[in-house]
Chain A
Amino acid sequence: MAKTLFEKIWDSHVVKEGDGRSLLYVDRHLVHEVTSPQAFDGLRMNKRKVRRTDLTFATMDHNVPTSNRSLPILDQTSATQIKALERNCKEFGIELFDINSPNQGIVHVIGPELGITLPGTTIVCGDSHTSTHGAFGALAFGIGTSDVEHVLATQCIWMEKPKTFEIRVEGKRKNPHAITAKDIILSIIRQIGTAGGTGTTFEYRGEAISELSMEQRMTICNMSIEGGARAGLVAPDEKTFDYLKGRRYIPKNYDKLVEYWRENMKTDSNARFDKSFTLHADVIAPQVSWGTNPAMTVDVTGRVPFPEEYAKGNPEEEKAATKALQYMGLKSGTLITDIELDRVFIGSCTNSRLEDLTEAAKIVKGNKVSSKVRAMIVPGSQHVKKQAEELGLDRIFKDAGFEWRESGCSMCLGMNPDILSAGERCASTSNRNFEGRQGSGGRTHLVSPVMAAAAAIRGHFIDVRELDLN
């Protein structure tokens, strides 16, 4: 029978069929400090062990400071959580990339970077952006802490089989330096809505997906959860295999695996999806979110919408839009390019990789950050930071007035000291513009790295297509 890529991975990981759900084997389990302490406590309470320490990897990313790492962590509760992860990894025998490790970084940046992420595998982590790893053709999804404990103890997870949802992105982007992977995924979410993918797994297909680099595919898969889908996949191809080749944790039989993946890890030509949506890449403009969820997004050439215009006849959505405008301190009808910023954040598991920084640096080079703006760059990992420094990107950013910081989740969710103050407005390359996400009362506009960089220089949003980016 013809199968989709998702169905092939699913079927090859079923250990046991249950009552309306399946027990799936987990090939890789990534652990971080925020969603794991209660899981380890559960193991201890029930005298259970970690079943496969060789398939479990841990790092600390959510609440690590991004300032000088040689100084003690001032926030005692953060320090406690970080200490707890160290203690738990030691006690249970799990490999940990700690705060001083050259491999430390955001869990979804380091997984691929170290070759832990592989095509055709199942990957879980107590973090909803685990969908990122789907860029390699892995079935990767976020889980809660109870399931973290379950996977630690059994290396398996119970799942109800999601439906399949094909997201086709046809054609080519007109200006690939200005219109990025971030703009593609925001355009998708804007159209299908934040619950559009609930109960499904996305597979991104089409010419505009194939032409993306691995890092750009990660940006797309990362935000699958913002469209409601726990996982989003891209079929692996030569770019995938080249990206992973030679990385530290790839298995010894890598070449043999590549042969197999090349032939098998794709959707059969006559396979059927339960749902399908098509986007045309040639009409996409740079995107800017105006509201308090990622579907509340418009083109940079547009205006802040009127609630009834956004809601299209849905009274609940209209109410939500009214409340969002109030929270964001925006008036309907305002040109997006008239919105002035206080802060700029380039970072997060969505957009903190080397390519993101390289593209942003092209805009920043030779310019100065607007005097009204405080701007920071938080590389996704220590490896990204080091590579960027070797290319001299840190100098470009620092000369322009950006803060150049240590790796971590940082202001994407503000669990560390990097937060917005109430009322501050931020152009952010992260994934969520929820109320208070970046700091209580803070106002987040989701954009691509080049849009954020340009906004930092000008002090307000501009259409980056007007700049020469080549």
Chain B
Amino acid sequence: MCLAIPGKIVELEEKGCMRMGRIDYGGITRDACLEYIADPQIGEYVMVHVGFAISKVDAEEAARTYQYLAEMDQLEEIAVPEPSREIR
């Protein structure tokens, strides 16, 4: 029920008195209400739930945390080096 899907803003428009946008979900596009998003820009990603964008996807934060996970076991090796490798 509380699922929200990340999608890219590809168009901005005013409909009625609401700020709306066309959102692209990997090839499928649908309208979503952007009233709750401050300064939405074409090309930005938003999380959409029941036709409403509820937050912007923070691209820097996503890259930073994913990078952290990717390097996790390498960090482990740096923190606990195997003595035999050190000697060689």
A and B: partners? no
Q: Write the residues of chain A forming the contact surface with B, with a CB cutoff of 8 angstroms.
A: none
Q: Write the residues of chain B forming the contact surface with A, with a CB cutoff of 8 angstroms.
A: none
